């Protein structure tokens, strides 16, 4: 805290005052040296991102976060599946069953919606963190599905996670129907109503169901309001508290073997020097604070939220791996500047993209297709604090003679933006495209970066220069082993 200067006593000489010019000079020097020190520290932190760290004076834990740079569907599931091999714990830290991570490995093809993408490794503890919207029915079905494939996952569900209630899904469906043409394009998984209740403090933590008297009384109170809305706004039948509570207890009993104190487990794992991988859902542009609001999801998609949604110290997240496609795709409504408006060209890319075409892993809806967007992706990796980037689905572009890339946004008044604007401006922008030569060949099966066609390497390096973060891996196929490490 600053202290007020002491006035000189009577007869005491006042200390000579620095001239205004001297004070300004010192102030400028302080700023310069402060900035230099800050820049050096920032560079040191980024350079040391993979260096050993200590936690409470113990061992050397490494916490990495895998997040999306764009609208989601970037291929995070595959990258989590690959990097999980060198991890001890994988934590899903936000989101719900409204999006899926598709994995292709020796167990076949699996779309995971609730489970972390480390469930196919026997050595990994897979944790559903407190930041997740847990649909118990879908969780149990996924566990059964994974086990039927021959895997035996070790899973812990945080006792602090909140659960998706049946009325959340009911409200989600009813609201989309009410909005009609102005709907948000929800997956109708109950996510928005769930997070609305969570932050209105009327959600249900999983641990609450183990105190039956407390949980039942709370449910009765909540349904008083929910039923009023159901009957009078959506014209639906009211919900019966007894029937709903009986169903909740069945779900509680079914999931109880998985429930644990994930905070304590992670605390002890970090003290023991375990490596932890944080898995995010969707991408930067779907974040409710920094994305294309209001066409966003209802939980933070940023790596910074990983500390909250998992319950670990934020300073332990040392490596943020941001995943982006070699082109753009998006599900649902919202601004999409680089979108391919020619339906035939969009469909051609759609059927070649992803692991079996660009269709939503949850809904099966065809994704909107676009050229790689340097403006959106640069913003996406910056807001995530990315230390490295993975470029996926490069193999899908091998059919093109030329590949347009969006390098700027043109506003109605003729300005060209390189910084990602807010939604009202974004919706009025047109893409500024730069055309790069295609490589006209199939690059699947190539294992070394130097063996990629020169035009493909030029494309990767052009994107790397535009986004300002090293591209350390290039994915040239959907399988676990179709991944080229650059450094």
Q: How far apart are CA 321 and CA 87, in angstroms?
A: 14
b/e code 148-186 from CB counts within 10 Å (16+ = b): eeebebebbbbbbbbbbbebbbbbbbbbbeeeeeeebeb
73 is catalytic: yes
Query: Rounded to the nearest 5°, which phi and psi values hold at 443?
Result: -105, 5
CA atoms within 13 A on the CB side of 222: 23
- In what side-by-side order are the strands of the sheet with 483-485? 259-260, 154-158, 125-128, 89-92, 275-283, 62-68, 317-325, 388-392, 471-475, 483-485
Candidates 39, 48, 81, 101; catalytic one: 101
Give yes or no for a contact between 393 and 456, defined as CB atoms under 8 angstroms apart: no
Integer angstrom CA distances of residue 229 from 179, 200, 223, 372: 15, 16, 10, 43
Candidates 73, 88, 172, 395; catalytic one: 73
101 is catalytic: yes
Strand 328-330, strand 402-410: pairing: unpaired
- Enumerate the active-site residues: 73, 101
């Amino acid at each position: 805290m600053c202290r007020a200067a002491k006035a000189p006593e009577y007869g005491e000489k006042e200390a000579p005052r620095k001239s205004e010019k001297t004070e300004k000079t010192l102030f400028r020097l302080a700023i310069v040296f402060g900035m230099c020190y800050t820049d050096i520290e920032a560079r040191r932190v980024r350079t040391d991102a993979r260096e050993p760290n200590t936690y409470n004076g113990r061992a050397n834990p490494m916490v990495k976060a895998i997040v999306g740079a764009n609208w989601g569907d970037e291929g995070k599931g595959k990258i989590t599946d690959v990097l999980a091999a060198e991890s001890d714990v994988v934590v899903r830290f936000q989101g719900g069953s409204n999006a899926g991570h598709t994995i292709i490995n020796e167990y076949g093809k699996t779309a995971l919606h609730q489970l972390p993408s480390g469930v196919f490794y026997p050595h990994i503890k897979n944790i559903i963190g407190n930041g997740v919207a847990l649909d118990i029915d879908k969780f149990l079905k996924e566990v059964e599905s994974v086990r039927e494939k021959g895997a035996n996952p070790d899973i812990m569900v945080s006792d602090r996670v909140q659960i998706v209630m049946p009325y959340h899904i009911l409200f989600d469906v009813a609201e989309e129907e009410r909005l009609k043409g102005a709907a948000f394009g929800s997956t109708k998984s109950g996510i928005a109503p769930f997070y609305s209740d969570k932050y209105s403090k009327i959600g249900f933590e999983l641990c609450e169901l183990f105190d039956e008297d407390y949980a039942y009384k709370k449910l009765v109170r909540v349904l008083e309001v929910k039923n009023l809305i159901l009957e009078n706004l959506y014209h639906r039948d009211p919900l019966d508290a007894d029937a709903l509570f009986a169903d909740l207890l069945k779900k509680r009993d079914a999931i109880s073997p998985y429930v644990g104190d994930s905070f304590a487990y992670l605390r002890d794992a970090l003290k023991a020097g375990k490596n932890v991988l944080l898995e995010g859902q969707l991408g930067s542009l779907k974040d409710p604070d920094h994305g294309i609001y209001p066409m966003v999801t209802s939980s933070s998609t940023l790596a910074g939220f990983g500390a909250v949604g998992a319950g670990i110290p934020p300073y332990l997240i040392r490596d943020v791996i941001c995943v982006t496609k070699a082109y753009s795709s998006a599900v649902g409504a919202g601004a999409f500047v680089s979108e391919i408006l020619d339906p035939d060209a969009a469909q051609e890319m759609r059927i070649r993209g992803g692991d079996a075409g660009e269709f939503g892993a949850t809904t099966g809806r065809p994704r909107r297709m676009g050229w790689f967007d340097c403006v959106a992706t640069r913003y996406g990796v910056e807001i995530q604090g990315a230390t490295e980037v993975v470029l996926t689905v490069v193999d899908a572009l091998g059919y093109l003679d030329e590949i347009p890339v969006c390098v700027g946004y043109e506003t109605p008044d003729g300005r060209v933006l390189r910084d990602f604007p807010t939604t009202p401006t974004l919706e009025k922008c047109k893409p500024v495209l730069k055309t790069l030569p295609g490589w006209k060949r199939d690059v699947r099966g190539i294992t070394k970066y130097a063996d990629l066609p020169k035009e493909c390497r030029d494309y990767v390096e052009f994107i790397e220069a535009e986004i300002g973060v090293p591209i350390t891996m290039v994915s040239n196929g959907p399988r676990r082993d179709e991944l080229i490490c650059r450094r």
